[in-house]
Structure 1
Amino acid sequence: MRWSSMFRTRIFVAGVVVASAVVLATAVPAAAHDELLQSSPAVGEVMTAAPEVVSLSFADEVLAMGAAVIVVDQSGHDWVAAEPVLDEATVTAELEPGMPDAGYELRWRVVSSDGHPISGVVPFTIGDGEPLTRTPEPAAAGGADTTIAEAQSQSTQENQGALRGLLIGVAGAGIAVAVLFLVSFLRRRKAATPRPGGTDTTDV
């Protein structure tokens, strides 16, 4: 009986440790989010005429909260005419008419189906215009030329850090429980060991 209990205890402790290691090892892959599959305009596309609408298609349905789309030129003017429209995994936005031949950036931010924000930039050019060149000066706070990708990158890193912290805490708690269980078992076993000159009444 004693050896059977010890074997079961070792199996339990090993299982908890392995499970905790698996949780920690999969913490980063689990943070993967839905990705952009296709955009119109496409990345680097040279269009013969100004588009009336821009669209973004994602790997899975995106959430309505936090969605933002802007299309900016070299001066920082935003050509998006209305709030973006979400239809499951597709986001569209109407543009103002009269966009001249020039370089532009479609900057987007959405909340993926797992609740995490993702963002990106799609550069494109209309007609014979020169591709947009980023200026080193920071954008004005609250302006239309705010770089969504940079602002959202910090938020994404904070969310991932919180997730890793939670997973590490859960794994640590599991290991602590296993250690306490093992210590308690060893103490009971020591107490059950007969002293010299005594009678061993422990079942076998």
Structure 2
Amino acid sequence: MKRLAVIAAAVLAATALSIAPASAHAALQSSNPAENAVLDAAPDEVTLTFNQNVQQNFATVTVVGSDQSQWAASEPVVDGSTVTVDLDGLGAAGGYTIGYRVVSADGHPITGSIPFQLTQASPAATTPPATNLDFTNRAEPQATQDTEDSSGFPIWIIAVVVVAVGASGVLFALRKRTH
């Protein structure tokens, strides 16, 4: 019986420590242009698709050329899990980076960047558009995507409870056997 109780406690502890969170944060599923895409012509817009809905209020999308010029021509539009920003062409051929910061439905910020290449200068725009986008009080996108996968509730609390219950079961089994 003692051996069975110890095995049961070990199985409970291993299970508790291996449980993945049930509700992970939003993550980028796809983008248009895609990461590292090589384009012959400038796209009309940038579209980011996430695996969950994101909040409209805190979406920020930038499109920056290798000369640090900003090319987003509108505020981001959020439709559920899709974020779109219009472009007014792009500039010279070269590297561009889409930077984004959105807030998932559970309140966690998700940031990232998507590089792509333009092989031919855009005939529509040779200088960045004169936009007056207000990104006040919004964080600048970071170079990598936030990959935190917790559900907001610390998993270690569940593990401690399971271990405590398992240890109590072992102690109860040992106590019952000695009486």
User: After TM superposition, is the score higher than 0.5?
Assistant: yes
Q: Tell me which residue corresponds to 1:94.
A: 86
RMSD: 3.8
Give yes or no for the alignment of 1:104 onto 2:96.
Answer: yes
1:71 is matched with: 63
**Partners in 2 of 1:43 and 1:186 — Cα distance?**
59
Distance 1:112 1:16, change over 3 A: farther
Higher-Rg member (1/2)? 1
Structure 1 residue 15, shift from structure 2 partner: 4.8
Seen in structure 2, the aligned counterparts of structure 1 residues 175 and 126 have a Cα distance that, compared at 3 Å, is closer
Partner of 1:148: 142
Which structure would you say has the larger RCO, counting Cα contacts within 8 Å and 6 or more residues apart? 2
Shift of 1:49: 3.4
Contact (CA 8 Å) 2:12, 2:166: kept in 1 or not?
Answer: no
For the Cα contact (< 8 Å) 2:28–2:50, is it kept in 1?
Answer: yes
Output aligned runs, 1:1-204, within 5 Å.
15=8, 17-27=10-20, 33-64=25-56, 66-95=58-87, 97=88, 99-102=90-93, 103-113=95-105, 115-128=107-120, 146-150=140-144, 153=146, 156-157=147-148, 160=150, 166-184=154-172, 186-187=174-175, 190=178, 192=179
TM-score norm. by structure 1 comes to 0.59
Q: Letter of the aligned partner of 1:69 in structure 2?
A: V
Unaligned runs of 5+ in 2: 122-135
SS at structure 2 position matched to 1:109: strand
Looking at secondary structure, tell me which structure has more helix per residue: 1
Partner SS, residue 122 of structure 1: strand
Identity %: 38
Provide structure 1 residue ranges, at least 5 long, that are not aligned to the other structure: 1-5, 130-141, 193-204
SS in 2 for 1:63: coil
Give a deviation string over 1:67-89, Cα, whole Å, max 9, x none. 22110012323222332111112
CA contact (8 A) 1:108 1:149 kept: no
